[in-house]
Structure 1
Amino acid sequence: MTTIQKNQSVLLAGASGVLGRHITHVLTEAGHKVTGLGRSRNNGVSADLMDRDALLRAVDGHHFDTVIHAATALRKPPVRDRDMHATDALRTEGTAHLVEAARLTGARRFVVESMVFGYGYGDHGDRPVTEGDPFGPQGTTPRLERHIAAMRTKERLAFESEALDGVALRFGLFYGPGGTDALLPLLRKRQLPMPADHGRVLPWVELTDAARAVVAAVERGRPGQAYNIADRTPLGFRAHVESVAGAFGLPKPMTVPLWLMKPMSYAHTVMSSRLRVSCAKAEHELGWTPRYPSSLEGLAALRSADR
C-alpha cells in the first residue's frame, strides 16, 4: 500500500447527499478537512456542477489537496431509465467541469464514485468480475449505452486528466443509514412487489463501509487505478429486500413475474442482471475490507441503531 499525505484539504462534490454525508463524517474522523461543494448554500463552496463558469468562479482562490466527485441527481431509487438521465449528465459534463475546477484549486488527487454496472448490465455468470475485465463495454441497447457511456466517460476523465492522479471506486448497490429508510414505508404498506431472483445476484455495500473505502482511496489509492467495493455476499434484489423486511419485522414483498416490471425500465434491467465482483484488489492495495460482510450484519446494525 502507498500512503500519501494525511490531514488533507478535501473538496467533496455531493457532500449533502446520502453517501456524501457519510464520506464527510469518516474523512473528518480521519483528520482531513472537508469542504462541501453543491447547489445548497449550506456547502462551503456553493455551485452547480453543470454550470461550468459559475463553478470555476466559486472555487477561484481556494486550494484543495484532493477533490472527490460523489455528486448524484438521485433523490430516490431510479425506476425508469429517464430517472438516470440527470445523473448521467453529472457523470459526463459535470465531471469535465469538476476536473477543471480541481486543476484551478491546485489539487493533485481526484477520486470518483463509479458503479459496478459500468461492467455492463445483464448476466455475467458466476465468475467474479475483476478490475482487469473490460469496463464500459458498448451497451446492448441505446438506452443502456447512455448509462454505460456516462460511467465510462467519468472514469476516463478521472484517469486521463493532466496533472491529476485519478482513482475510481466501483461500488455495489448501496444500503444502510439514509439509504434503506425509503423502503420501510413501502414494505409496511405492501407497496413494493418484487420478482423472484432465480439465481440472479448483485453486489451490495453498506454506506458507512463505502465511505471508509473513499477515505482509503484518498490516502492510499494508486493513481490511474479502479477498485471494486462491495461486501462478501452478493444477493438478488428480492433477497436483499426480504432481508430488510426481516430485520425490521415487516411483511415480505409480494411476488410478481419479472415481465410485469418492464414498464419500470431501469428497475427491470437491474433486477434482470447477474453480477459478482472481486474486491481482492481493494483489500490488497487500499487495506479496505467491509465491516459488514453481508446485508444480514449491516441491516442488524441499522436496526439496532434505530432502537
Structure 2
Amino acid sequence: MTTNQSQSILLAGASGVLGRHIARALTDAGHKVTGLGRSEGNGVRADLMDRDALLRAVDGQHFDTVVHAATALRKPPMRHRDMYATDALRIEGTAHLVEAARATGARRFVTESMVFGYGYGDFGDRPITEDDEFGPRGTDPELERHLAGMRAKEQLTFEAAGLEGIALRFGLFYGPGGTENILTLLRKRQLPAPADHGRVLPWVELTDAGRAVAAAVVRGRPGQAYNVADRTPLGFRAHLLCVAEEFGLPRPMTVPLWLTRPMSYAHTMFSASLRVSAEKAERELGWTPAYPSSRDGLAALRAATAR
C-alpha cells in the first residue's frame, strides 16, 4: 500500500512518550489520528488487556490503519519485573488489538518492536540486519519472558489474516519526553553506570522514531520488519556522559558491572553489545534520521529547552 492520501489511523498508546511523537508525525503527514488508551483524551478509551471492552469500544468504527505503540512502562525499567506488564501486553494485548483492527476494517497493522528482540548478549562488531534471527530463546527464564513477548508480538503482526503487518525494530529511545527522566536521575546522582569497555547499543531520537512510523504507514512492505536506529551506536555510559555534558550535569558515577546486578534488567542492558543496520528502512521507507548521533539529538533538545 503505497499511497500519500490521508488515512484514518487508530493509534494504541497515543498518550505515551513515543505515541505522542507518532501522533504528531502522522498528523503532520495529513492523516487523521484517533488515540486508543485508558486515559482521558483518547478518542477510543479501552484497555488492550480487556478484549471484550476493547471490541465494544471500536464497534461501528472504521480505520484504514492501526498502529500499536502501547507499553505498560511509565519509567525506565530497572528490574526484570518492571517489564512483566509490557511482556504480557506484547502477547495478549497485541492479539486483542489485531482482533479489533479486523473489526474496524483496517488493512494495515504497524507495530512497535525493539532491537533487543535479537537478544541481550554481545553480538560483536557485525551490524545485525533484519535477516538475522529475531526472538531466539532466552538464556534464562527472565530473558525468555521478555524475548517471548517480542517474538509473539511480531508473529501476531505478520500472521494476522487480512492485515498487512509491518514491524519497526527500534533502538533505545531518547529525546523530548524521554531524556527528562535521565536528567532527573543524573541531577540526584541516582544513576550509576559501569564502564562500557567497547560495548555499544543502537539509539534513536524520539521525533525520528515517530517519522519512521509515519513512513511505514505509507511505504512499509507487508510482512517486513525494519530496524530503526541512528548511525552512531553508543555505549550506555557513553550516552549518559553525552547527556551530562550537554546539560551541564554531574557525570554518572562509575561502578563495577557486578554492582548493578540488583538492578537486574538494567544490568542485562549494561552487559549487552549490539549494532544494527537501518539501511533497509532508509532504502525502502525513505526514512533517514534527522539526528545521526545521540550528540546531535541531545544538542537539539538542549537548544529547544533553552528557548
TM-score tier (shorter): over 0.9
TM-score by length of 2: 0.99
1:196-207 matched pairs, under 5 angstroms: 196-207=195-206
1:121-179 residue CA offsets vs partner (Å, 9 max, x unmatched)? 11011000000000000111111000001000000000001000000000000000000
Q: Does residue 79 of the first structure (1) align with residue 78 of the second (2)?
A: yes
State the Cα distance separating 1:5 from its structure 2 match.
Answer: 5.0
Kindly report the root-mean-square deviation, in angstroms, between the aligned alpha carbons of the 2 structures: 0.7
1:270-306 residue CA offsets vs partner (Å, 9 max, x unmatched)? 1100000001100110011100000010000000000
Structure 1 unpaired stretches of 5+: none
What is the CA–CA distance in structure 1 between the aligned matches of 2:29 and 2:87, rounded to whole Å?
Answer: 31
1:126 alignment partner in structure 2: 125
1:77-104 residue CA offsets vs partner (Å, 9 max, x unmatched)? 0000000000011100000000000000
Structure 2 unpaired stretches of 5+: none
Q: Does residue 193 of the first structure (1) align with residue 192 of the second (2)?
A: yes
Amino acid at match of 1:142: P
State the Cα distance separating 1:70 from its structure 2 match.
Answer: 0.2
2:285 alignment partner in structure 1: 286
1:21-60 matched pairs, under 5 angstroms: 21-60=20-59
1:65 alignment partner in structure 2: 64
1:9-40 residue CA offsets vs partner (Å, 9 max, x unmatched)? 00000000000001111100100000000001
1:135 alignment partner, SS class: coil
Q: Does residue 302 of the first structure (1) align with residue 301 of the second (2)?
A: yes
2:251 alignment partner in structure 1: 252
1:111 alignment partner, SS class: strand
TM-score by length of 1: 0.99
Flag as ranges the 4+ runs of structure 1 deviating above 6 A.
none
1:225-264 matched pairs, under 5 angstroms: 225-264=224-263
What is the CA–CA distance in structure 2 between the aligned matches of 1:270 and 1:97, rounded to whole Å?
Answer: 30
2:270 alignment partner in structure 1: 271
What is the CA–CA distance in structure 1 between the aligned matches of 2:150 and 2:192, rounded to whole Å?
Answer: 29
What is the CA–CA distance in structure 2 between the aligned matches of 1:190 and 1:37, rounded to whole Å?
Answer: 36
Q: Does residue 138 of the first structure (1) align with residue 137 of the second (2)?
A: yes
What is the CA–CA distance in structure 2 between the aligned matches of 1:65 and 1:4, rounded to whole Å?
Answer: 12
1:182 alignment partner, SS class: helix
What is the CA–CA distance in structure 2 between the aligned matches of 1:5 and 1:91, rounded to whole Å?
Answer: 29
The number of aligned residues is: 306
1:169 alignment partner, SS class: strand
